[in-house]
Amino acid sequence: MPTYEYACGRCHHRFDVRQGFHDEPLATCPKCKSAARRVFQPVPIVFKGSGFYCTDHGKSGMVGSTKHKEVEEFKEKVDSTPPVAKKEEAKASADAK
């Protein structure tokens, strides 16, 4: 049977209750005997297997692949271009449109 966490609306006491899947989600606070509500927790995300990071050896994100090298070369080119040249290139492309 699963364990559910509850919180009291009056005294804010938190406690756990073992209940079956089909039981009503109602409980009373053991301290003040008022109604309590079930607290929902977020589910943790677990990435298992390969292909989630660029350091993994997946098909498209493989380190050392041509696509990866092209991206790195483009980044270097953009970073090494002086700001004045970037403005002139932007102006020229806007004029061409």
17-43: pLDDT as tens digits: 888 888 887 788 989 999 898 898 888
**Same domain membership, residue 55 and residue 27:** no
**Same domain membership, residue 93 and residue 68:** yes
Of 21, 53, 50, 54, residue with least CA distance to 38: 21
Q: What 8-state DSSP symbol labels residue 9? A: T
**Same domain membership, residue 57 and residue 25:** no
CA distance 39 to 15: 10
Domains: count for the chain? 2
pLDDT band at 77 (very low <50, low <70, confident <90, very high): confident
Q: Is residue 72 part of a domain?
A: yes
- Which phi and psi angles does 83 have, rounded to 5°? -60, -35
Q: Is residue 46 part of a domain?
A: no
Domain range for 76: 51-97
Q: Is the pLDDT of residue 10 over 60?
A: yes
**Same domain membership, residue 95 and residue 55:** yes
**Same domain membership, residue 63 and residue 96:** yes
